[in-house]
């Protein structure tokens, strides 16, 4: 639930003076917002490192956060800086680094109202703002084309989670009511990653977007999932199992890695009439254990199953039933915006309530 202090700040001009009031009334919430704003806008510097250290001490650091904010006018100016011009960063002792997608939580809906824009997923946030969700157009390195839908877990997969709360990482687009989605997960998890598997030599890669690959390094998880990423087995479309994993992606020796072994995760599959197996990973067929019935069926029968792959290669369901996915629409990708000003305007003042990665 958004607090009165966060509500007041969200409705304000978000100036340095208003941020000072926010720190005075709710220092932990204000620090959380400022750190997320700096990350998305690419602002870096000692003042943010010091703020992060205090913030990580938890609620007991409230008074220290207040005092720190009061003594750091540059910190209070960060909110204005991020929303105006990154070029001013050096004048306040900051550096302007790479921007990051904004993390936003909301409830999923589906729009069929606009001609030529049928069945787009929508995200409505806690403050009532509704965004249309699209996949970003990012050029794949070494090729002449942009986003190729079947290589990644496209934004329109979010339609399967209609009526549910999801958390996503997204960039702005030219439209103020549209988000270009990098990755997503049901619920309000702090850490997650989504994409499609690809077995490249001896490495199992999760393709998040054309400009972001994550290597799966946990030995057990890699062994179980590798057959589902084999590009030589199944339809020759260049993408395999669509998957949403809970947990943190970390940087290791200059590359992104996922080294966790989650109990359960979401997997994209297809259930066709009369077939005792699930079609997964673009044309592969795999046995399953448990209930994959969906409350509503669609023409292509795509579903999201919550569970895991066991050592024998079976899909083991971790909940009763699957989520039906409305028919996909082809996406070439929508150009996204990495301008710090545009990203800063998207940063929610308060994050969603923390909860476990959940199938509900």
Query: Which one is predicted more confidently, 79 or 157?
Result: 157
Pairing of strands 250-252, 212-216: unpaired
Question: Each residue of 129-161: pLDDT tens digit?
Answer: 899 999 887 655 554 444 455 678 888 899 999
Rg of the chain over all Cα atoms, to the nearest angstrom: 21
Query: Which one is predicted more confidently, 301 or 71?
Result: 71
Are the CB atoms for 224 and 205 separated by under 8 Å?
Answer: no
Question: Above 50 in pLDDT, residue 126?
Answer: yes
Are the CB atoms for 314 and 268 separated by under 8 Å?
Answer: no
Are the CB atoms for 307 and 268 separated by under 8 Å?
Answer: no
Q: Of all helices (H) and strands (E), which one includes residue 307?
A: strand 302-309
Question: Each residue of 227-268: pLDDT tens digit?
Answer: 999 888 777 655 689 999 999 999 999 899 999 999 999 999
The reported pLDDT for the residue numbered 337 is 79
Domain limits, CATH 2.40.50, in the chain: 102-188+329-340
The reported pLDDT for the residue numbered 184 is 96
The reported pLDDT for the residue numbered 82 is 66
The reported pLDDT for the residue numbered 83 is 59
What is the maximum alpha-carbon separation in the chain? 69
The reported pLDDT for the residue numbered 150 is 60
Mean pLDDT of the chain: 82
Question: Each residue of 84-101: pLDDT tens digit?
Answer: 545 455 454 555 556 678
pTM of the predicted model, to two decimals?
A: 0.81
Tell me the C-alpha distance between 180 and 336, whole Å.
Answer: 6
> What's the length of the chain?
360
The CB density around residue 144, as the number of other CB atoms within 10 Å, is 6
Buried b (16+ CB within 10 A) or exposed e, 10-37: beeebebebbbebbebbbbbbbbbbbbb
Burial class (CB in 10 A: 0-12, 13-18, 19+), 183: buried
The reported pLDDT for the residue numbered 353 is 56
The reported pLDDT for the residue numbered 340 is 67
Identify the architecture of domain 102-188+329-340 in CATH.
Beta Barrel (2.40)
The CB density around residue 251, as the number of other CB atoms within 10 Å, is 8
- For 229-279, the three-class secondary structure string (H helix, E strand, C coil) is HCCCCCCCCCCCCEEEEECCCEEECCEEEECCCCCCEEEEEECCCCCCCEE
Question: Above 60 in pLDDT, residue 358?
Answer: no
The reported pLDDT for the residue numbered 139 is 58
Share of the chain above pLDDT 90, in %: 40
């Amino acid at each position: 639930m958004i607090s009165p202090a966060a509500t007041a700040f969200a409705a304000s001009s978000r100036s340095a003076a208003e941020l000072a009031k926010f720190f005075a009334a709710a220092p932990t919430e204000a620090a959380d917002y400022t750190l997320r704003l700096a990350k998305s806008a690419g602002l870096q510097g000692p003042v943010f490192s010091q703020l992060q250290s205090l913030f990580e001490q938890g609620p007991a650091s409230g008074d220290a956060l207040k005092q720190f904010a009061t003594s750091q006018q540059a910190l209070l100016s960060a909110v204005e800086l991020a929303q105006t011009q990154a070029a001013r960063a050096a004048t306040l002792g900051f550096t302007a680094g790479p921007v990051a997608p904004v993390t936003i939580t909301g409830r999923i809906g589906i729009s069929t109202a606009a001609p030529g824009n049928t069945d787009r997923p929508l995200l409505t946030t806690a403050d009532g703002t509704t965004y249309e969700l699209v996949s970003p157009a990012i050029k794949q390195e070494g090729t002449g084309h942009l986003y190729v839908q079947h290589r990644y877990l496209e934004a329109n997969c979010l339609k399967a989670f209609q009526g549910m709360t999801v958390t996503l990482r997204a960039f702005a687009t030219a439209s103020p009511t549209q988000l270009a989605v990098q990755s997503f997960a049901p619920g309000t998890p702090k850490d997650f990653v989504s994409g499609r598997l690809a077995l490249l030599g001896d490495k199992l890669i999760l393709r998040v977007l054309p400009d972001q690959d994550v290597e799966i390094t946990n030995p057990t998880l890699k062994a179980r999932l590798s057959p589902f990423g084999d590009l030589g087995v199944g339809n020759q479309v260049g993408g395999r199992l669509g998957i949403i994993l809970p947990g943190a992606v970390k940087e290791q020796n200059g590359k992104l890695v996922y080294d966790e072994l989650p109990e359960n995760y979401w997997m994209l599959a297809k259930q066709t009439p009369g077939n005792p197996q699930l079609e997964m990973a673009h044309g592969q067929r795999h046995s399953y254990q448990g209930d994959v019935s969906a409350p509503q069926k669609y023409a292509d029968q795509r579903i999201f199953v919550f569970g895991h792959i066991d050592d024998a290669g079976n899909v083991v369901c971790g909940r009763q039933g699957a989520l039906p996915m409305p028919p996909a629409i082809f996406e070439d990708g929508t150009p996204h915006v990495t301008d710090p000003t545009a990203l800063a305007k998207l940063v929610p003042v308060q994050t969603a309530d923390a909860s476990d990665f959940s199938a509900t």
